[in-house]
Structure 1
Amino acid sequence: ASAKAGSEPKRHRKMMTIAEKVTLLDMLKEGRSYAAAARHFGVNESTVRYIKKDEANIRKTAAITFSRSAKRVVTARNKTIVRMEGALAIWIADCRKKNIALDTNTIRTKALSLYEHFAAKEPQDPQKQRFSASKGWFAKFQKRFGLKSVSLHGEAASADTTAAEIYANETFKNIINEGGYKPEQVFNMDETGLFWKRMPSRTFLFKEDAKASGFKAFKDRVTIVMCGNAAGFLLKPGLIYKSKNPRALRNKNKNLLPVYWMHNPKAWITKMLTSDWFHQCFIPQVSKYLLEKGLPFKILLLMDNAGGHATDLSHEGIQVEFLPPNTTSLIQPMDQGVIRAFKALYTKNTLADLVACVDAAQDDEDETFNLKAYWRQYTIATCMQNIQKALKEMKSATVNASWKKLWPQIVYDDEGFTPAEIQHSALAAIIGGDGFGDMTTEDVDELLDCHSQPLTDADLEDLTKSASDEDSETQEETQEIVEETGLTLERLAKLCNLAKELKELSQEWDEDMVRSLQFCHKIDEDMTPYRMLFERKKKQRQQLPITMFFQPRKKEPVPPATMPSEEIEEVSQEEVEEVSQEKTPLSD
């Protein structure tokens, strides 16, 4: 039937995805108007205002969802169940990554176990909802988190060998031949969890707390996103932390860190973070690398099919391929020694840092060195420093050798070092004392192998702790600090003076004039950006208007018998001229 005269066709309702809503909220945060955001997404302005009103729930949902196409927002529910589901999602993703078999009954049993674990630590509520991990709950959980398949087949020890051989010998070969890819153009990306404060089992037992009730090892965790090519080149890694602005990085520019900084309340990879890493980290680095090599922008990126990996990554010149299920432990390059070697080097550097602290305490004749206090001062900033050291020590031959099972034709003769060749026991012996003097290679292997085991309830409890407390503490601490931070003009002047003093001391004390001159030249070279910044800030201060250097003086009533008003005006003018010459604030 035809529509009535004068009637308009019914407008189709547009249901925005969570990812689109987050993008819209980011646009508003950048200062875009509600009308501009509405035009960009083709929705009413009232819809934009409604999304802004529900920002907290939308961002919370985006942080835990596995599906970029999810449209439903998590509503207020039982907090214990919400936390349990977040932990369960992490556990499922972890099991998928480790090729651990799961089915519906296994997941429901784990859900009930986690709920009871979390509920036991919550205050008793007589009206608390009873949870039984029913089939109905599981169906809704599966829909909420976008789990298309909950059944995995085979464990790491019995991975799909046939599928791995077919992919390496046929599928991958055809992709390389058809695309004409060179080793410099073929990359593999994989992520791994790093318990960045965990040491081999005997080393983190503090003498004073070893027998204390409730003692447990540090389980602070980050996710490292590693990516390298078949030629042996490693990109700057991505790092996912639980907090957006930790106290240790309060005054740091996130764009100038040795890692690509990302954040998630669970420090876990999600589809949105994968997409962010792909567009903001991978593409710029690879573009620069290929330009330096004089190669065209033609890239093959290999990824596994983990639940947190986005499947809609696309960019002109980039072909994204996903490895077959249950073949990660057999043919994925990053899993063939690169990640393990990186963790071994990170552990070595952490021990070396501990050795330096012990030596410093001995030099100062301080016999009260405390391992617990050391770990308290070991922040995420220290962690990133040791990550950077580990990556610099990684040999390109080690990265290249990891492609042996997938692309043996391009592997060098030199296979680089293996984790077993990175000596930790020697460093441990230097530290000495309980837990260090008898540390062996097996202790380190135990640490490296712990990541292949399923996450325990205690691990999941730590991973699901909210970072809101740390963020609020950071805000309170920032409000309390009133002094200017960063590279101020005074601090730049101090840096330049210290560099000058260091040069003078080297020339005075060093008998080898050639060596001291080389040292001074190196200081001059390294100080150039600071001197340029100092001069620029100095000019900016000199160009400030005179009114910036004093405040209006409050007028006080003057008795008639005192100085006339004309003389007061003359004195004020003289004071202004004096301020103009000296460039100093006018005191009250």
Structure 2
Amino acid sequence: MSAPGNEPKRQKKVLTLHEKVELLDKLKDGKSYATVGRHYGLNESTVRYIKKNEKEIRSSVASAFCGSAKMVNVVRDKTIVRMESALAFWIQDLRKKNIPLDTKMICTKARNLYAQFTTDADEFRASKGWFDHFVRRYQIRSANFHGEAASADTDAAANYPETFKQLITENGYKPEQVFNMDETALFWKKMASRTFIMKDEMKAPGFIAQKDRFTLIMCGNAAGWMMKPGLIYKSANPRALKNKNKNALPVFWMHNSKAWITKVLSSNWFYQSFIPQAREYLREKGMPFQVLLLMDNAAGHAVDLRHEGVRIEFLPPNTTSLLQPMDQGVICAFKALYMGNCLQQLVDAIDGDENFQLKVYWRNFTISSCLTVIHKALQDMKEETLNLIGGDGFDDITHEVINELVDAPSQPLTDQDLAELTQSGSENEPKEQEDPSQEDEEDEGLTLERLADLTQAAKQLQENVKSWDPYMVCVLQFSNAIDSAMSTYKTLFTSMKKQRGQLPITMFITNIKKCLTRPEKIRHRLPTPEVRRVEEWP
């Protein structure tokens, strides 16, 4: 008799897909997990696991050509694999320069890399499911810098909705006549509070934050219409808005030494901005000027505001975060859109400038640039988001809008460098030489160089108008028209860039020993983690 510790190990039993379907059919007929497990010689936990994956198993059997197969392997798209490898290089490169990343930046870069690596018409969407699998495959995690919590009077908030409903019923207010106003501070030179780092990094170091701040007064009605916001800046005439007409800005301009709302400024906004805009809006709708304005009881709000046809209702104290519609997602959605547009401009600047430095970028980001982003964010807001009656639609909005200002000490990897890093061996083979006469023929018409000059000229034209025209609203309309007119040429420019062949990275790598015996000039590219940089031979 053998010792208890010398018993032979039980062999693992793997069922075929056809047997798994038969097992699932027995469970479907009402047999217990234990009975089915004894029939196939399996543990009950294994039977439950097969039952858990019933949908995938039946789907695999329906599409499989071999009934005796025990598993199905899915071959991934080579272009997506190459794109993900380049994306991982890009993330690691930006983390070395302490540039924060968020989900939108990574997904946008993934779509751009996929479009560069293929000419296929199928569009890569960079969905949430792909993103979750990508960070799991490359062991990337999200690190939070810090956060904050708030408290509110829940009892008063629970009793007020009935009071408000009675007020609406008694006075017969329509959704177009019910407005809500709230102010918020916007740190307009800060980025997201989270970034993505590699697994071997313990934390994301922070830096001294830029404290450039102003106050925005947001106001909209229950029908989903948002009026031009008020802006309180620390200076009456900043250098970036020199020779600009303040009445033609996309915001109602006000100033205060602390850039915060006061009773005088709230009164100026009420009489000079809210009343004219609300009156014009209701006149276009063919409705009488009967308005209900909801406000909180902040110290900076004037309490003696009076105007014919306007009723001001103050919310109970300490209930703003629970009751005020603007705090239920409208301001949060605006800040998320503002942050998204800022990050998109940052990504474009990184891709377009090989000598990109984050400090220089933020130094050139003035209050004039900020107003342009505010105007774009307001245009991107959906009517469903602005509908102050409902409370849905804000599950995907992030509340982190604060980040540290970071430095980029060296050059980020360009798309061309990422493409060369992920080229396969077959792509490194030299291409056949083209006929010079054909090159002369291809030079005619819209060449890649001419399209690049055309794009640069359009950008320069937008910059000139921005610096010359004092009416910012007209400048924004002109810039949008130029972007719309150039969209076709930009698409053609991107397509031609993909069609132009790229030189393999191996052409820029030379063995050092051969260099010492054969003094020839060596071209060098950007250094990579795997390749030692070879300086040019004198």
> Could you say whether these structures have the same fold, taking a TM-score greater than 0.5 normalized by the shorter chain as the test?
no
TM-score class, shorter: 0.3 to 0.5
TM (norm. structure 1) is 0.41
TM (norm. structure 2) is 0.45
> Looking at both structures, which has the greater relative contact order when contacts are Cα pairs under 8 Å and sequence separation is at least 6?
2
